[in-house]
Every structure is written in C-alpha cells, then in structure tokens.
Amino acid sequence: MAPAVDSVVRSQLLAAGGNAVIPPTVWAIISFLVVLAILWKKVLPIILDAMDKRAREIRDALSAAENARAEAEQMMQRHQADLDAARHEARQIIEEGKADAQRVKAQIIDDAQREAQQTIERVRREIDLAKQAALEQLHLRSVQLSFELARDLIGKSLDPQDHQALIDERIRALSSNN
C-alpha cells in the first residue's frame, strides 16, 4: 500500500505543477499532534491534579464515614452498656425497696404485738388493782356491816379507836383466809 500512496502523492505533486504541496491529511495529523502535545503539557496535568484531588476527597470522605460508623458503634455499645447498667440498678433499687418494705412490715408487726402485749399487761394490772381495791372495799364494808349488826345486837357503840382496832383485826383475819 505504501507504493500506492507514493504514486498518489507524486501524481498530486505533478498536478500541482511540481511544487511540493503537503496534503491536508498530513496537516490535520500535524495539527492534531500539536494540539495533543499542548493538551498533554498544559491541560493533562490540571485534569490529573483535579482527578487526584477528587480521589483524595473521596478517600477522605470514606475514611471519615468509616470513623463516624466506628464511633457510632462505640456510642451504641456505650449506650447499651449504660442502659443495661440502668436496668440492673433499677432492679437493685426495686429489690432494696421490697426488702425495706418487708423490714418495715416486720417492724410494724413487732411494734403492734409489743404494744398489744403491753396493753394487755397494763389492763391486767389495772384489773388486779381494781380487784384488790374492790376486795378491800368489800372487806371494809363487810366489817362495817358486821359492826353495825353487832352494835345493834349489843346495843352499844364502840369508840373510834376500838372500832379501828376491830376493823384491822377483821381485815387480817379475812386476808389470811383467802
């Protein structure tokens, strides 16, 4: 094919009057190569720098996203741990509350039983005292009635000292019988 191109070029040279004319295709190729060389020297470094910058930005964004994801996971784990700790603490507080309620209940029951026992003992003492007082009054009244009956039978009255001595003697006699 090279001889055919040479013959075409020669025929064109001869047709042009023997002047050496460069065909337009060659000028197009030369122009393309010049433009390509200019682009290669001037524009290509700018484009490569922009692409490198964009690649760095993408890498940085991916790294930041990975860091944010890792931080979010750590925060989630801390949050979960805090939540578990709060649940555990709440269970402990509830258990302590139940234990405190049981202690208070037991204390109230003990206090009520002690108070009831004290009240029963106090009432028994009061009953015993009232019984003793009633018995003493009954003894005194029976002695007085006996003296009144004896006075009516005998027909005389005793002086207060004899009367008191007789009452004391009768009380001692009745007390020793019971």
Cβ-contact 139, 108 below 8 angstroms:
no
Q: Looking at the predicted structure, is the pLDDT value of residue 1 above 50?
A: no
Region 130-155 average pLDDT: 79
Region 148-177 average pLDDT: 71
The better pLDDT of the pair 11, 94 is held by: 94
Question: How far, in Å, CA of 126 to CA of 131, rounded?
Answer: 8
Strands (E), the chain: none
pLDDT at 171: 77
Indicate the pTM of the whole model: 0.39
pLDDT at 165: 78
Cβ-contact 130, 136 below 8 angstroms:
no
Across the chain, mean pLDDT equals: 84
Region 116-132 average pLDDT: 94
Q: Where are the domains of the chain?
A: 9-177
pLDDT at 21: 76
- Phi, psi dihedral angles at 61 (to 5 degrees): -65, -40
* Tens digits of residue pLDDT in 47-105: 999 999 999 999 999 999 999 999 999 999 999 999 999 999 999 999 999 999 999 99
Cβ-contact 167, 140 below 8 angstroms:
yes
